[in-house]
Amino acid sequence: MIVVGNSIVSDDIADCRFACDLCVCKGACCVEGDSGAPLLEEEVAKLERVLPEVLPQLTPEGRAAVEAQGVAVRDKDGDLGTPLVDGGACAYITYGDNGCALCALQGLYKPMSCHLYPIRVENYGEFTAVNYHQWDICLAAKGKGEPLYVYLKEPLVRRFGQEWYDELIEQINQREKR
């Protein structure tokens, strides 16, 4: 474990290499799962603001889901997430020519949990857990590219700030010297 401020970061963030391969998985992380992408409370207003630009890009089913459920929903645990189409795919997806699920929010407002994926952040009051969510749909991405903390530098800085990220790098470098 790596401690950065009040965050406990899994060693996997430093050790595992990762690079999404949409040609292989076809955006399955946006299609599969038991609830929508986790959202922060403050993201609801941002989604409402971009909704007029996003709605025309959605599939008819996605548009209907957003119109019926709203821009965000609470799951069975009371957590906020993106609405789903018939309990399956995220309502905010669109499909590319190759049948790959793409985010219609991309370029307008990417929810933090989507931008960070496969890193998941959980708040536990006094500390925050930062973990690598290993899912079999991402097997083609695992072991390729850069370590997760490098691959996901931009969203990590967006979520925690540059100072936090610099401290993470320092902690990783110190750990590697041991």
Q: How far is the C-alpha of 57 from the C-alpha of 127, rounded, in Å? A: 38
Q: Is residue 118 part of a domain?
A: yes
pLDDT tens readout for residues 26-58: 888 888 877 889 999 999 999 999 999 999 999
Helix axes 153-160, 162-177, angle to 10 degrees: 120
pLDDT of residue 121: 95
pLDDT tens readout for residues 123-137: 898 999 999 999 888
Q: Which domain holds residue 10?
A: 1-19+111-178
Q: How far is the C-alpha of 43 from the C-alpha of 34, rounded, in Å? A: 20
Same domain, 74 and 122: no
pLDDT tens readout for residues 97-120: 888 899 999 889 999 999 999 999
What are the tokens at 124? 């536990």
Residues 6+ positions from 123 with CB-CB distance below 8 Å? 129
Residues 6+ positions from 91 with CB-CB distance below 8 Å? 36, 58, 61, 62, 63, 65, 66, 69, 82, 83, 84, 85
Q: Is residue 29 part of a domain?
A: no
Query: Which among 107, 123, 140 is the end of a domain?
Result: 107
Q: Is residue 27 part of a domain?
A: no
The answer to whether residues 70 and 114 touch, using CB atoms and an 8 Å cutoff, is no
Q: Is residue 28 part of a domain?
A: no
Would you say residue 75 has pLDDT above 90?
A: no
Same domain, 98 and 116: no
Q: What DSSP string runs through 24-43?
A: HHTTGGGT-SSS--B--TTH
Q: For residue 111, say if its preceding peptide bond is cis, omega within 30 degrees of 0.
A: no
Q: Is residue 41 part of a domain?
A: yes
Q: How many CA atoms lie within 13 A of 70 on its CB side?
A: 9
pLDDT tens readout for residues 7-26: 999 999 999 999 998 888 88
Average pLDDT, rounded, for the chain: 92
CA dihedral of residues 46, 51, 52, 57 (deg, nearest 10): 140
Other Cβ atoms within 10 Å of 52 Cβ, number: 8
Query: Which among 55, 83, 107 is the end of a domain?
Result: 107
pLDDT of residue 107: 87
pLDDT tens readout for residues 155-174: 999 999 999 999 999 999 99
